[in-house]
């Protein structure tokens, strides 16, 4: 029986599921590994391969193909593609586009290739859904010369958005013409969709942009880079760590990045209440902006 192993690697976690034939495909098993690179967790992403293989062995379901969610396809890869040496070379080249995710995802592909050298692997890019963003939505307002190096808005969470669009197509009445899709989790973004195609999204060149998230800042004044360098001696590496791991809900609340924790504390802790208020305000702001871009709104999906 054909079985497809789906791999979704985060910066410090890995989710996996094995799917069998059928329409829709049948989930045969699933699992999650957390705290990668942290005390008590797997050493690195590559070391996650054997625990995944052990689960498949217990179930007696070897994979016939492996699909990877890859955060960034850069300017070159705009649709799912079979993993080749050329593709891996391009992913290594664009790793600086997203240093939080890309190295671990590349390491996983290479580790699975060593474990299953004859099984095809497919890279499925989170940026692909936004490949048809209009020029006005892609260009960053910085000197034009940087666009030649691939510096522009890309957008992310594309696999999630593609899934939502396909589910809406199958519903009675078909796909609404003007959609705002809200992917709200540890990483959060919104997409404006017209006739099934992305016309705008909150994330940009990296997944750090847009809405405030659990630990990511979202959009902030770029002047902070210079200000914190001058007043705090903060390096670019420290700034990147701050906006990706110490900001968002965690940064404002100073206690937790988990909405459940903040909801439990909001009546007694103004910091928790403000973190939730800022998040909701920015989501509401983005929904309104996207409704204006679409010329109205038919359906809002959370």
Domains delineated in the chain: 3-125 (3.30.420.40), 173-301 (3.30.420.40)
* Catalytic residue status for 258: no
Name the active-site residue from 98, 126, 195, 261: 126
- Taking residues 237-260, report their average pLDDT: 96
* Encoded tokens for 277: 């208020």
Question: What mean pLDDT, rounded, does the chain reach?
Answer: 95
The pLDDT assigned to 1 comes to 55
pLDDT digits (tens, 9 = 90+) for 127-157: 999 999 999 999 999 999 999 999 999 999 9
Any alpha helices (H) in 94-221, and if so which ranges?
102-115, 135-138, 158-169
> Which residues, 6+ apart, have CB-to-CB distance to 161 below 8 Å?
129, 181, 183, 191, 193, 198
Task: Answer for the pair 126, 118: CB distance below 8 angstroms, yes or no.
Answer: no
Query: Taking the mean position of all CA atoms in its chain, how far away is CA 302?
Result: 16
Task: Answer for the pair 140, 152: CB distance below 8 angstroms, yes or no.
Answer: yes
Whether the full predicted model's pTM is greater than 0.75, yes or no, is yes
CA distance 210 to 212: 7
Q: Provide the pLDDT confidence category of residue 163 given band limits of 50, 70 and 90.
A: very high
- Taking residues 116-125, report their average pLDDT: 97
Percent of the chain whose pLDDT exceeds 90: 88
Pairing mode of beta strands 197-201, 26-34: unpaired
Q: For residue 169, is pLDDT > 80?
A: yes
Q: For residue 276, is pLDDT > 90?
A: yes
The pLDDT assigned to 40 comes to 82
- Phi, psi of 275, deg, nearest 5: -60, -45
What sign does the CA torsion over 244, 248, 254, 255 have? negative
pLDDT digits (tens, 9 = 90+) for 200-225: 999 999 999 999 999 999 999 999 99
Query: Is the N-terminal amide bond of 230 cis, ω within 30° of 0?
Result: no
- Phi, psi of 143, deg, nearest 5: -50, 130
The pLDDT assigned to 38 comes to 78
* Strand segments (E) across the chain: 3-9, 13-20, 26-34, 65-70, 81-82, 121-125, 178-184, 188-194, 197-201, 299-301
CA distance 127 to 189: 13
Q: Provide the pLDDT confidence category of residue 59 given band limits of 50, 70 and 90.
A: confident
CA distance 183 to 122: 24
CA distance 215 to 200: 23
> 63: helix, coil or strand?
coil
């Amino acid at each position: 029986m054909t079985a497809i192993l789906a791999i979704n690697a985060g910066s410090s976690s890995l989710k996996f599921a094995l799917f069998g034939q059928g329409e829709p495909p049948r989930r045969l098993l699933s699992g999650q590994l957390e705290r990668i690179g942290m005390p008590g967790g797997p050493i690195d992403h590559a070391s996650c391969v054997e625990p995944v293989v052990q689960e498949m062995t217990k179930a007696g379901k070897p994979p016939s193909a492996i699909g990877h969610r890859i955060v960034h396809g850069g300017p070159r890869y705009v649709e799912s593609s079979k993993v080749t040496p050329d593709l891996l070379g391009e992913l290594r080249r664009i790793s600086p586009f997203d240093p939080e995710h890309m190295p671990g995802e590349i390491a996983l592909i290479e580790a699975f290739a060593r474990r299953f050298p004859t099984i095809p692997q497919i890279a499925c890019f989170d940026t692909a859904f936004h490949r048809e963003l209009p020029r006005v939505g892609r260009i960053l307002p910085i000197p034009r010369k940087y666009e030649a190096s691939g510096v522009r808005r890309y957008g992310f969470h594309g696999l999630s958005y593609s899934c939502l669009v396909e589910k809406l197509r199958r519903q009675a009445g078909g796909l609404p013409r003007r959609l705002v899709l809200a992917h709200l989790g540890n990483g959060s973004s919104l997409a404006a969709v017209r006739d099934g195609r992305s016309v705008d999204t909150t994330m940009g060149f990296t997944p750090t942009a847009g809405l405030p998230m659990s630990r990511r800042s979202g959009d902030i004044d770029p002047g902070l880079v210079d200000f914190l360098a001058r007043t705090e001696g903060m390096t670019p590496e420290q700034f990147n760590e701050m906006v990706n791991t110490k900001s968002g809900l965690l940064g404002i609340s100073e206690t937790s990045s988990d909405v459940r924790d903040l909801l439990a504390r909001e009546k007694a802790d103004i910091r928790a209440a403000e973190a939730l208020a800022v998040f909701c305000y920015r989501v509401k702001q983005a929904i309104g902006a996207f409704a204006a871009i679409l010329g109205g709104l038919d359906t809002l999906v959370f």
